[in-house]
Structure 1
Amino acid sequence: MEPTAHSQQQAATPSSTETTEDIASCLNAAVRNKNQERVLELLEKGADVNSKVAFGWTPLQSAVQDNNEDLVRLLLDKGACPHARKDNGGTAFTEAAIVGNVNILELLLDRGLNINDCDDNGFTAFMEAAWYGNEKALEFLYSKGADVNLRRVVNEEKAKLHKGGATALIDACRRGHFSVVKTLVQEMGADMNICDNKDRNALIYALQEGYAKERYESAVSIGLFLLDQGIDVNSKDECGKSALILAVEMQSLELVEALLEKGEIDIDDADEEGKTALMVAVEKNNYKIAELLCRKGARTDVGNLIAVANRNRAHKVAELLRQHNARFVPETLEDWEPNSRRWRDQLKNLYKIYRPMIHKLKTFQYIQQRIQNTSQGGIYLGLHGETEVAVRVCRSTAGDKETEFYKQCGNCEHLLKLFQSEKAKGYMYLCFPLWEKNLEERLQEREDQMDYKDALRMIFQAVRELHSLGFAHQDLRPSNFFIDLVGKIYLADFDNKRKLIEGKKELVNSDLEALSRLMLYVLTGGKKPLQQVSTKDLAADSPDYEEALDLVSSLGSHDERGLEGLSKHPYFWSKQTRFNFLKGVWNKIKDLHKRKAVFQPPNATVVFPYPSWTQEIDREVLNIMRNPKKGGACHYSNDVTDLLRFMRNLDEHPDTRISEIIGDYAKYFLKIFPALTIYVYNSLRQNPKCSHFADIQDPSL
Structure 2
Amino acid sequence: MEPAAHSHQEAPTPSSMEKAEDLAFELNVAVRDINTKAVLELLEKGADVNSKAESGWTPLQSAVQANSEDLVRLLLDKGACPHARKDNGGTAFTEAGIAGNVNILTLLLDYGLSVNYHDDNGFTAFMEAACYGREEALKFLYSKGADVNLRRAVSEENVKLHKGGATALMDACSKGYFSVVKTLVQEMGADVNICDNKGRNALIHALKEGCAKDRYESAVAIGRFLLDHGGDVNSKDECGKTALILAVEMQSPDLVTALLEKGEIDIDDADEEGNTALMVAVEKNDCNIAELLCKKGARTDVGNLIAVANRNRAHNMARLLRQYNATFIPETLKNWEPNSKRWRDQLKSLYQIYRPMIGKLKVFQYIQQRIRYTSQGGIYLGLYGGTEVAVRISRSTEGDKEKRFFEQCGNCEHLLKLFQFEKARGYTYLCFALWEKNLEEHLQEPEDQMDCKDALRMIFKAVRELHSLGFSHRDLNPSNFLIDSGGKIYLVDFDNKRELIEGKKELVSSDLEALSRLVLYVLTGGSKPLQQVSTEDLAANSPDYSEALDLVSSLVSHDERGLEGLSKHPYFWSKQTRFKFLKSIWNKIKDLQNRKAVFQAPNATESFPYPSWTKQIDKDVLNIMQKPQNRPPFKYSDDVVNLLRLIRNLDEHPDSRISNRIGDHAEYFLKLFPALTIYVYNSVRQNPKYSHFADVQDPSL
Give the deviation of 1:45 after TM superposition.
2.3
> Which 5+ residue runs of structure 1 have no aligned equivalent?
1-13
- For residues 537-552 of structure 1, the aligned pairs below 5 Å read 537-552=537-552
Residue 37 of structure 1 is matched in structure 2 by 37
Compared with structure 1, are the counterparts of its residues 466 and 72 closer, same or farther at alpha carbon in structure 2 (3 Å cutoff)?
A: same
Residue 88 of structure 2 is matched in structure 1 by 88
2:539 and 2:239 mapped to 1: Cα distance?
47
Give the deviation of 1:616 after TM superposition.
1.2
2:391 and 2:539 mapped to 1: Cα distance?
39
- For residues 485-504 of structure 1, the aligned pairs below 5 Å read 485-504=485-504
Q: Contact 2:601–2:683 (CA<8 Å) still a contact in 1?
A: no
Q: Contact 1:185–1:191 (CA<8 Å) still a contact in 2?
A: yes
Residue 521 of structure 2 is matched in structure 1 by 521
- For residues 275-286 of structure 1, the aligned pairs below 5 Å read 275-286=275-286
The SS at the match of 2:658 is helix
> Which 5+ residue runs of structure 2 have no aligned equivalent?
1-13
Compared with structure 1, are the counterparts of its residues 615 and 16 closer, same or farther at alpha carbon in structure 2 (3 Å cutoff)?
A: closer
Residue 595 of structure 1 is matched in structure 2 by 595
Q: Which amino acid aligns with 1:463?
A: V
Residue 635 of structure 1 pairs with residue 644 of structure 2: no
Per-residue deviation, residues 497-528 of structure 1 (Å, max 9, x unmatched): 11111111111111111111111111111111
Give the deviation of 1:15 after TM superposition.
9.0
The SS at the match of 2:682 is helix
Q: Which amino acid aligns with 1:221?
A: A
Give the deviation of 1:230 after TM superposition.
1.4
1:180 and 1:444 mapped to 2: Cα distance?
46
Give the deviation of 1:591 after TM superposition.
3.2
Q: Contact 1:102–1:140 (CA<8 Å) still a contact in 2?
A: yes
Per-residue deviation, residues 89-139 of structure 1 (Å, max 9, x unmatched): 111111111111111111111111100001110000000000001111111
Q: Contact 1:568–1:695 (CA<8 Å) still a contact in 2?
A: no
2:252 and 2:579 mapped to 1: Cα distance?
79
Residue 10 of structure 2 is matched in structure 1 by none
1:390 and 1:603 mapped to 2: Cα distance?
51
1:492 and 1:700 mapped to 2: Cα distance?
25
The SS at the match of 2:418 is coil
1:453 and 1:575 mapped to 2: Cα distance?
12
Compared with structure 1, are the counterparts of its residues 650 and 221 closer, same or farther at alpha carbon in structure 2 (3 Å cutoff)?
A: same
Q: Contact 1:115–1:146 (CA<8 Å) still a contact in 2?
A: yes
Deviates more, 1:602-611 or 1:448-457: 602-611
Aligned residues: 689
Residue 191 of structure 1 pairs with residue 191 of structure 2: yes
The SS at the match of 1:308 is helix
Per-residue deviation, residues 189-237 of structure 1 (Å, max 9, x unmatched): 1010110001100000100001211111111111111111111111100
Q: Contact 1:21–1:53 (CA<8 Å) still a contact in 2?
A: no
1:147 and 1:600 mapped to 2: Cα distance?
63
The SS at the match of 2:394 is strand
Give the deviation of 1:78 after TM superposition.
0.9
Deviates more, 1:679-688 or 1:615-624: 615-624
Residue 3 of structure 1 is matched in structure 2 by none
- For residues 11-22 of structure 1, the aligned pairs below 5 Å read 18-22=18-22
Give the deviation of 1:88 after TM superposition.
0.7
1:16 and 1:123 mapped to 2: Cα distance?
37
Residue 9 of structure 1 is matched in structure 2 by none
Per-residue deviation, residues 664-692 of structure 1 (Å, max 9, x unmatched): 11111100000000000000011111111
Give the deviation of 1:569 after TM superposition.
0.1
Compared with structure 1, are the counterparts of its residues 350 and 17 closer, same or farther at alpha carbon in structure 2 (3 Å cutoff)?
A: closer
Deviates more, 1:615-624 or 1:417-426: 615-624
Per-residue deviation, residues 363-393 of structure 1 (Å, max 9, x unmatched): 0111110111111000000011021110001
Give the deviation of 1:592 after TM superposition.
4.3
Q: Which amino acid aligns with 1:465?
A: E
- For residues 102-141 of structure 1, the aligned pairs below 5 Å read 102-141=102-141
1:243 and 1:33 mapped to 2: Cα distance?
46
1:338 and 1:283 mapped to 2: Cα distance?
32
Give the deviation of 1:604 after TM superposition.
4.5
Q: Contact 2:122–2:154 (CA<8 Å) still a contact in 1?
A: yes
Q: Contact 1:388–1:433 (CA<8 Å) still a contact in 2?
A: yes
The SS at the match of 1:421 is strand
Residue 683 of structure 1 pairs with residue 683 of structure 2: yes
Residue 3 of structure 2 is matched in structure 1 by none
Residue 326 of structure 1 is matched in structure 2 by 326
The SS at the match of 2:291 is helix
1:403 and 1:68 mapped to 2: Cα distance?
61
Q: Contact 1:418–1:430 (CA<8 Å) still a contact in 2?
A: yes
Residue 174 of structure 1 is matched in structure 2 by 174
Q: Which amino acid aligns with 2:609?
A: P
Per-residue deviation, residues 520-562 of structure 1 (Å, max 9, x unmatched): 1111111111111111111111110000000000001100000
Residue 586 of structure 1 is matched in structure 2 by 586
Residue 211 of structure 2 is matched in structure 1 by 211
Residue 372 of structure 2 is matched in structure 1 by 372
**Superposition RMSD in Å:** 1.4
Give the deviation of 1:320 after TM superposition.
1.2
- For residues 325-364 of structure 1, the aligned pairs below 5 Å read 325-364=325-364
Give the deviation of 1:602 after TM superposition.
9.0
Compared with structure 1, are the counterparts of its residues 334 and 239 closer, same or farther at alpha carbon in structure 2 (3 Å cutoff)?
A: same
Residue 419 of structure 2 is matched in structure 1 by 419
1:361 and 1:238 mapped to 2: Cα distance?
22
Give the deviation of 1:595 after TM superposition.
2.0
Q: Which amino acid aligns with 1:121?
A: N
Residue 5 of structure 1 is matched in structure 2 by none
The SS at the match of 1:34 is coil
1:641 and 1:346 mapped to 2: Cα distance?
63
1:503 and 1:18 mapped to 2: Cα distance?
76
Residue 270 of structure 1 is matched in structure 2 by 270
Per-residue deviation, residues 333-368 of structure 1 (Å, max 9, x unmatched): 111111111011111110111111110000011111
Compared with structure 1, are the counterparts of its residues 368 and 603 closer, same or farther at alpha carbon in structure 2 (3 Å cutoff)?
A: closer
Q: Which amino acid aligns with 2:379?
A: I
Q: Which amino acid aligns with 1:692?
A: H
Q: Contact 2:604–2:686 (CA<8 Å) still a contact in 1?
A: no
Residue 508 of structure 1 is matched in structure 2 by 508
Residue 200 of structure 1 is matched in structure 2 by 200
The SS at the match of 1:147 is coil
Residue 654 of structure 1 pairs with residue 634 of structure 2: no
Residue 6 of structure 1 is matched in structure 2 by none
Per-residue deviation, residues 630-657 of structure 1 (Å, max 9, x unmatched): 1111211111100000000011001112
Residue 5 of structure 2 is matched in structure 1 by none
Compared with structure 1, are the counterparts of its residues 604 and 225 closer, same or farther at alpha carbon in structure 2 (3 Å cutoff)?
A: closer
The SS at the match of 1:630 is coil
Q: Which amino acid aligns with 1:700?
A: S
Give the deviation of 1:18 after TM superposition.
4.0
1:109 and 1:605 mapped to 2: Cα distance?
60
1:56 and 1:267 mapped to 2: Cα distance?
50
Q: Which amino acid aligns with 2:247?
A: A
Residue 257 of structure 1 pairs with residue 264 of structure 2: no
The SS at the match of 2:233 is coil
1:644 and 1:15 mapped to 2: Cα distance?
83
Residue 533 of structure 1 pairs with residue 533 of structure 2: yes
Q: Contact 2:684–2:694 (CA<8 Å) still a contact in 1?
A: yes
1:328 and 1:603 mapped to 2: Cα distance?
83
Q: Contact 2:599–2:687 (CA<8 Å) still a contact in 1?
A: no
2:73 and 2:602 mapped to 1: Cα distance?
81
Report the TM-score when normalising by structure 2: 0.97
Report the TM-score when normalising by structure 1: 0.97
The SS at the match of 1:137 is helix
2:600 and 2:478 mapped to 1: Cα distance?
41
The SS at the match of 2:214 is helix
Q: Contact 2:601–2:687 (CA<8 Å) still a contact in 1?
A: no
Q: Which amino acid aligns with 1:363?
A: V
Compared with structure 1, are the counterparts of its residues 602 and 494 closer, same or farther at alpha carbon in structure 2 (3 Å cutoff)?
A: closer
Give the deviation of 1:603 after TM superposition.
7.7
2:34 and 2:484 mapped to 1: Cα distance?
67
Deviates more, 1:523-532 or 1:16-25: 16-25
The SS at the match of 2:182 is helix
Compared with structure 1, are the counterparts of its residues 281 and 241 closer, same or farther at alpha carbon in structure 2 (3 Å cutoff)?
A: same
